[in-house]
Amino acid sequence: MPMEQLLDHLSWLTTPKDFEILCQPPIPGNLQSYTRRGRCTEYQHFAAIPWTQLHDFSSLSSHVRIRFQDTVSLEKLQQDLGISEQETFIHRDEHLYDWRMYENVSEARMILKNGSNYIDSFTDRKFYKIFTPEHWQKRPERLLQLGGIFGSTRMNMVKPEHLELQQLIAETLHYRLDTPLGETVKGIVKHVGGKARFMAVHFRVGDVPFRNYATDNLHMFERNMSIATGIPVPALPPLNEFGVFTTLPKPPPKPKNTIHVIPPRDLRDVPWSNLCQHVSPNLTVSTEHIKSRAIVYIATDHKDMRGENSRLLEWFDYFPCTITLNDIPPELLDPLDQMHCMFSPSKSLKSYLIPLVDAMVAAHARRIFTTPRSTFSKYIGELNEAWVLKEQGYTQASFLE
């Protein structure tokens, strides 16, 4: 969809109106009720939540001037700020991660000189532009509209005060736990056994690039979880002249005697409680004695991981004590009923927030393994570091071999 058309659709969806009346089923003889069907179809799949319901900006407000703009409309923003079109500069990204900013000018020049300003995406190699802060500071316009600053490598700071501010922004963007969303997460974490008393995987398979690598990532997760819980794994393959594995590391052999157990409504019931074991929340205590009995929570966008035709079904042969969101008693999701779309108060946000609940529960694990090359999955790993690891003086780097 062209950018102008996308912005037009988002403007319509984020401008308050009586959507329930506008988007009723078409009325015979009423032409307008039919012409709105396309946009109303989009409305059925769209909802919005205020930034402040997800993040607490109080610690950041004294450092950065922030304005929340509810309606997605450049014209509305210009009107609210009293800025003309001539005073506005719009940077249009040519592709995902179109540019990076480097505060160190020498580093920026070196990257350009050796031609390393590129990323190898899932499909091809994409070169990105390199900007410095001065590039934006020299623009005469009062309003700079950037295509996006999404991406953990987008801003490369070197000054201590800017690194400190960047860290503060990152911490501010951690999800809040003092909301109905957080209450839901804490209830599920308690049900699973408590913070840091289980292992976790954040496994993305829904989008095309991750779907294509699902089997490889599955084997990687099987191997990594086996190492963490003391199950022997095959030796690593040899490296080539570039220091890259000649083949993918293999998962452990499939267990000969597999046990399948469905998580009961009450995890204290047998046979689950006899077979499955929580890990110690104390990070100094080894988990290598637990092996396949470890309780594991998998957050995933797979619709039915236990399904007969699931590509991920073999996971349960390795780790039968695995819990997914589908195994959670549905009443634990009830606090989400308090959350509604900011543009259509009658619309519940419950179904839209399920992926966040799933990921946030996984982030409360003792250890979490995340999907490679997924920015969202990397973010969930950062939440685990903030909520679990740092409380005991550890970081994600503490577990790198």
Question: Over the stretch 359-371, which tens digit does the pLDDT of each residue have?
Answer: 999 999 999 999 9
Cis peptide before 271 (omega within 30 of 0): yes
Q: How far apart are CA 29 and CA 27, in angstroms?
A: 6
* Farthest CA pair distance, the chain: 72
Q: Which residue has the tokens 């939440």?
A: 383
* Average pLDDT over every residue of 159-185: 96
Question: What pLDDT digit, counting tens, does each position of 224-257 carry?
Answer: 999 999 999 999 999 888 888 888 999 999 888 8
Mean pLDDT (the chain) is 92
Two tokens, residue 352: 């839209």
Residue 401 has pLDDT above 60, yes or no: no
| Residue 189: both structure tokens together | 């974490």
Instruction: Please check the confidence at residue 30 and state whether its pLDDT lies above 80.
Output: no
Q: Mean per-residue pLDDT for 66-78?
A: 94
Q: CA neighbours within 13 Å on the CB side: how many for 352?
A: 14
Q: Once rounded to an integer, what is the mean pLDDT over residues 342-348? A: 91
Q: 341: pLDDT confidence band, cut at 50, 70 and 90?
A: very high
Stronger pLDDT, 27 or 276, i.e. the higher one: 276
Query: How many whole angstroms from its chain centre is CA 181?
Result: 15
> In the block, which residue shows the tokens 């090359």?
373
Concatenating the DSSP letter of every residue in 7-74 gives HHHHHHHTS---HHHHTSPP-TT-HHHHHTHHHHHHHHT-----HHHH---TTTTTTS------S--H
pLDDT of residue 175: 97
Would you state the pLDDT for residue 31? 66
Tokens of 65: 């001037």
pLDDT of residue 35 exceeding 70: no
Higher pLDDT residue, 107 or 208? Answer: 107
pLDDT above 80: residue 28: no
CA distances from 221 to 189, 204, 268, 351, 401 (A): 21, 12, 27, 27, 15
Per the DSSP assignment, residues forming a β-bridge with 245 are: 239
Token duo for residue 300:
């995933």
- The pLDDT-based confidence of 124 (bands split at 50, 70, 90) is confident
Residue 72 binned pLDDT confidence (cut-offs 50, 70, 90): very high
The residue that leads in pLDDT, 253 or 185, is 185
At residue 293 the predicted structure's pLDDT band, cuts being 50, 70 and 90, is very high
pLDDT value of position 152: 80
**Spatial distance between the Cα atoms of 202 and 372, rounded to a whole number of angstroms:** 10
CA distance 8 to 73: 8
What is the sign of the dihedral through the CA atoms of 346, 351, 354 and 356? negative
pTM of full prediction above 0.85? yes
Q: What is the pLDDT of residue 20?
A: 85
